[in-house]
Amino acid sequence: MTDPLVERAKAVLDTERQALESAVDRAPHQVAAAARLILEREPADVVITGVGKSGHVAHKLAATLSSVGTRTHFYWTSEMFHGDLGAVDQAGVVIIISKSGSGADVAQLIDFCSHRGIGLIGIIADTHSPIVPKLDVLIDASIHQEADPEGFVPTTSTTLALALGDALAVCLMEQRGFTSTDFAKFHPNGALGARLNRTVRDIMAGPADIPRLRPDQSVRDLAIEMSRHPTGLAVVDDNDGALLGVVSDGDLRRALTEVSDLSDTHVQEVMTTEPTMIEPDALLAHALAVMEDHQPGAISALPVVSDGQVLGVVTIHQLHREIPS
């Protein structure tokens, strides 16, 4: 027997899916134009406004833009003529989110911005609204129908407006080169920020958990130590703990194939004497970038060094576990 609730849920999701698919064919160039307008007007702020459910969508978009590096403020359209217009920078951009594009407050705001040269972007469902010709950029948020049985509850329209806002935010984020490290700066107390603000010291293998050798020890000793402590990197230091070199798993494999007498070959003959290093207080994202951007090829482990002293080793596998992709 068919469950009517299941069928209704499917119908809602299908209606909204169709609206999103339709927007893929028409909206990308409009979103790109909106992003360019905002970038051209920087460093002026962006103001986002809306009424009713569109206002809630506008509030969410303002929060998203702020979190990825665009200085953004949200105001209810109905309140903007009671003091909030002072927040609108004449060199800036106003984004209006509206299903109908009608209403006295919306029309008044459009005229205010137009007369002052303020950039106007509209995420509008009714593309025949009289405000559309006054916009610098229209992002077409039109839909075939809302998802409720009667067709009047803001459902499909708000979903599409949210998605178009997300597309705009991500375009701006990408143009700025905004990274997970930047995101962490804006979210220091969130779960993601807490992870991204962690340092190498927090996750590195310490002195007792890494293979450490003297330069005059044999390659046989090296192989035993690296098998005992599989960090992917052995550090070679002197009696005072000062770093002299490193031996990677790759270095060891090459030595095992090229050296005839492991006991008679010393570590100093196979070690890298000028390795790439990382400070213990470096952010994890920075350490990962150092590894992945290394030339001529990525490296899988780094010695952690402070004031010339070896404190530990951090591996790319540790970093991938800690840093969201």
Which CATH number is 15's domain given?
A: 3.40.50.10490
- In terms of domains, do 173 and 236 share one? no
- Which has the minimum average pLDDT: 50-59, 92-101, 151-160, 259-268? 259-268
The enclosing domain of 282 has a CATH number of 3.10.580.10
- In terms of domains, do 231 and 292 share one? yes
- Which has the minimum average pLDDT: 14-18, 234-238, 283-287? 283-287
pLDDT at site 64:
92
Virtual CA dihedral for 256, 270, 289, 199, nearest 10 degrees?
100
pLDDT at site 26:
95
- In terms of domains, do 149 and 55 share one? yes
- Which has the minimum average pLDDT: 82-86, 94-98, 117-121? 82-86
pLDDT at site 264:
87
Residue 205 lies in a domain: yes
Looking from the CA of 134 toward its CB, the CA atoms found within 13 Å total 21
- In terms of domains, do 234 and 306 share one? yes
pLDDT, the chain, mean: 89
- In terms of domains, do 212 and 172 share one? no
- In terms of domains, do 227 and 302 share one? yes
Residue 126 lies in a domain: yes
Q: Say how many domains are in the chain.
A: 2
Residue 189 lies in a domain: no
- In terms of domains, do 234 and 164 share one? no
Specify the pTM: 0.63
| 228 class by beta-carbon count within 10 Å (0-12 exposed, 13-18 middle, 19+ buried) | exposed
pLDDT at site 230:
86
Task: For residue 9, give both structure tokens.
Answer: 């849920």
Tell me how crowded residue 263 is: count the other CB atoms within 10 A of its CB: 10
Share of the chain above pLDDT 70, in %: 94
- In terms of domains, do 246 and 145 share one? no
Residue 191 lies in a domain: no
The answer to whether residue 71 scores a pLDDT higher than 80 is yes
Residue 195 lies in a domain: no
pLDDT at site 185:
65
The arithmetic mean of pLDDT across residues 208-231, rounded, is 91
- In terms of domains, do 8 and 146 share one? yes
- In terms of domains, do 80 and 213 share one? no
- In terms of domains, do 162 and 237 share one? no
For the chain, what percentages of helix, strand and coil (3-state, to nearest 5) are there?
Answer: 50, 20, 30
* Band of residue 297 on the pLDDT scale cut at 50, 70, 90: confident
- Which has the minimum average pLDDT: 4-18, 191-205, 213-227, 246-260? 191-205
- In terms of domains, do 146 and 41 share one? yes
The answer to whether residue 1 scores a pLDDT higher than 90 is no
Task: For residue 7, give both structure tokens.
Answer: 């069928």
Residue 188 lies in a domain: no
Q: Which domain holds residue 230?
A: 200-322
Last residue of a domain, one of 178, 211, 246: 178
The arithmetic mean of pLDDT across residues 127-133, rounded, is 94
pLDDT at site 127:
93
Residue 298 lies in a domain: yes
